[in-house]
Structure 1
Amino acid sequence: MSSSSTTPQSNAPAITRISVIGAGTIGASWAALFLAHGLKVTLHDPGPDAESIARTLITQAWPALVTLGTAAPDIPWGALQFEADLEQAVAQADFVQENAPEREAFKIDLYKRMDAAAPEHTILASSTSGLHMTRLQSQCAHPERCVVGHPFNPPHLIPLVEVIGGRQTSNDTIERTMAFYRQTGKRPIRIHKEISGHVANRLQAALWREAVYLAAQGVASVEDIDTAITEGPGLRWAVFGPHMTFNLGGGQGGMARFLDHFSGPIKSWWDDLGEAPLDDATRAILLEGLTQESDGRTIEALAHERDEMLLRVLEAKRRHTE
């Protein structure tokens, strides 16, 4: 699998024209990333204020891309166009990044329409966080070019993108998609089986379920549970994932020694993990705890704080790998 070409084992033309379907938070973030990499972008969204909202979101995202060295200071607005008609929006695209609402029936019809209108070589990728491509491609005449490309928010900052084929997706489509995302600075991972929530969201959900349980049981405050992650394992996870982290936990013996010494205790912790229903009582605990943890900061201020910290982490990781 090539990491330098957008057309491994394929005679398809290079990917230079992108169609982004859905111009909300995720779609505009994708658009900013693609523009930063010198690609021509067509945005489609039926919302009456979609264009102005998307331009605002792209403008807000741009300074971070400049800081990371991904983008030049000036936004190349000339490379961006808005198209109200879906079929026209995908008619010249080499790659489509779809970010429509998470409604299966709606997306099945959407993919049928895009498949009928897009050129034969065009890849149709979905940002869906949980739907299965096997279902979304089911009404397409060319289902082999349909694939999931699930980002993490915000896509212009977080490198991860999960690539999952449906039952009829070709291996060539998956390889071309992986190569294209690498070209745009992403870190794609290939998921070999369709599963609800993909991989990263399932890992998040598993951790959050225990976090909610601990808060509901009064084991610790919402803020302290968050701190247990941000000032503990979360720092290590920015460098290595759980498997490699525990491999290091075994010292010179690595994972084998770790399993010899800790498999018993960890199994007992697994057996004791709880489940907390997201009922009114638990909801009240979470909302009250987050009000205290936010300490008067707005959602906008918290998002800005998150992105500023993410930038510093990403810059540190980039310097380490240069």
Structure 2
Amino acid sequence: MRGTQDIQTVGIVGGGIIGLSWASLFSAFGFQTHVYDPNPMVSADIGPFVRDAWAIMAELELGTVSDPELPRFSSDLASLNIVDFVQENGPDRIEIKQQTIQSLEQVVRPDVIIASSTSSLLASDIQRGARHAERILVAHPMNPPHMVPMVELVAGKLTAPEIIDRAEALYQRIERVTVRVKKEVVGHLANRLTSALYREAVHIAAEGIADVEDIDRAISYGPGMRWALMGPHLTYHLGGGKGGYRHYLDHLGATQEARWQEHGTPELTEAVKNMLVAGVDRELESQDEATLVKRRDAALAQVFKVKKTWGF
């Protein structure tokens, strides 16, 4: 089994937002990066996207090379026959994932790790039908991967333990914060947490408790500010004062349970979807989406700096 330091060339499957973000990140750390996408039009997106990403990463002092090489593009999957590692970012449908893996295995060496960015699918399902299932795992980032450092690693039933170790070492080489998920579940870890909050956000809007705009405002100016620094357990530990988390759970745990019982289970009917979209449209009335993305990325960069400065 080759070591992590032997990985010098990375293949990116899928040239969407996630794939190009990964490509920007790997290339900034000196990896020769190859992007495959069946759509040849993706080639025109690489330069503008990657250069913008590099500019942000330079501000964050991320990367190891001063003059990175632009990722190379091909619409021919055979172009990945030289890579040492694959980050797969195709559509999140199991039949497409399995087909992609089977096609990749016709091209890449048997020792090449294949890591899927899937947001919900199980590694064990993706492995089904693979010739070398032991080298397949889930490595799910948050969007955009070059700015949000978390990567959650999930092994499938057939994933070799050393594959998880090697993948983790590689992601740490590109300064990602790795989280190991112990059991396979739909949505892994981060997306299950965000989905729980989103379900209640939809319920509150659907029940007329608050408007979409106020729900977003409540999160971004309330708990979201704390969550940018620490997770819920540590947040509630500090909320327990001198008694810490135990004091909080003993004295306020019952109020949490009472709220859990009240949480809703909304359905995304057409009426609910229309109401949610209308709320977001109102939030965008004073700015266009492209400007919002730039503002988000600039703000994320500042949050990244704050966390790095203060050790959060």
Shorter-chain TM-score: what band? over 0.9
8 Å CA contact 1:112–1:137 kept in 2: the answer is: no
Structure 2: which amino acid aligns with 1:87? A
- Residue 97 of structure 1 pairs with residue 99 of structure 2: no
Contact 1:247 / 1:255 at 8 angstroms: preserved in 2? yes
Report Cα offsets for 1:26-65 as digits up to 9, x if no partner.
1110000001111110111110201111222112222111
How many residues get paired?
312
Which of 278, 298, 308 is the equivalent residue of 1:318? 308
Mapped to 2, the partners of 1:73 and 1:119 lie a distance apart of 27
Deviations 1:141-187 (A, max 9, x none): 21111111111100110001111111100110001111111110111
Instruction: State yes or no: 1:80 paired with 2:71.
Output: yes
Equivalent residue, structure 2, for 1:266? 256
What residue is the counterpart of 1:40 in the other structure? 32
Matching of residues 220-239 of structure 1 within 5 Å: 220-239=210-229
1:261 partner letter: H
Secondary structure of the 1:117 match is coil
SS at match of 1:194: coil
Question: Retained in 2: the 8 A contact 1:24–1:53?
Answer: no
Aligned positions of 1:118-133 closer than 5 A: 118-133=108-123
Q: 2:10 matched to 1:18?
A: yes
Preserved contact between residue 4 and residue 169 of structure 2 (Cα < 8 Å):
no
What do you get for the CA RMSD once the two structures are aligned?
A: 1.8
Separation of aligned partners in 2, 1:127 and 1:47:
19
**CA–CA distance in structure 2, aligned partners of residues 21 and 112 of structure 1:** 13
CA distance in 2 between counterparts of 1:263 and 1:80 reads 51
Structure 2: gaps (5+ residues): none
Native 8 Å contact 1:109 1:139 kept in 2: no
Given that residues 13 and 121 in structure 1 are in contact (C-alpha distance below 8 angstroms), is that contact kept between their aligned partners in structure 2?
no
- Tell me the distance in 1 between the aligned counterparts of 2:164 and 2:63: 27
Counterpart contact for 1:17–1:92, Cα < 8 Å: yes
Q: Amino acid of the residue matched to residue 27 of structure 2?
A: L
Residues of 1 paired with 2:58 and 2:5: CA distance?
Answer: 29
- The 5-angstrom pairing of residues 266-285 of structure 1 reads 266-285=256-275
Aligned to 1:160: 150
Partners in 1 of 2:152 and 2:33 — Cα distance? 22
1:85-105 per-position Cα deviation (integer Å, ceiling 9, x unaligned): 21331x121110011111211
1:214 and 2:204 are equivalent in the alignment: yes
1:285 to partner: Cα distance = 2.0
SS at match of 2:303: helix
Specify which of 166, 180, 191 is matched with residue 181 of structure 2. 191
Contact 1:137–1:143, Cα closer than 8 Å, also in 2: yes
Provide structure 1 residue ranges, at least 5 long, that are not aligned to the other structure: 1-6
Cα distance in 1, alignment partners of residues 67 and 210 from structure 2: 46
- What's the offset of the Cα at 1:72? 7.5
- Whether the 8 Å contact between 2:150 and 2:177 is mirrored in structure 1 is yes
Residue 38 of structure 1 aligns with an amino acid whose one-letter code is: G
Structure 1 residue matching 2:40: 3-state secondary structure: coil
Shift of 1:17: 0.7
Tell me by how many angstroms 1:113 deviates.
2.2
Q: Distance in 2 between matches of 1:232 and 1:286?
A: 21
CA offset digits 1:276-300 (Å, max 9, x no partner)? 2211222222122212222232221
The secondary structure found in structure 1 opposite 2:38 is coil
Q: Which residue of 2 aligns with 1:292?
A: 282
CA distance in 1, matches of 2:252, 2:43: 54
1:272 deviates by 0.7
Aligned partners of 1:11, 1:292: CA distance in 2, in Å? 52
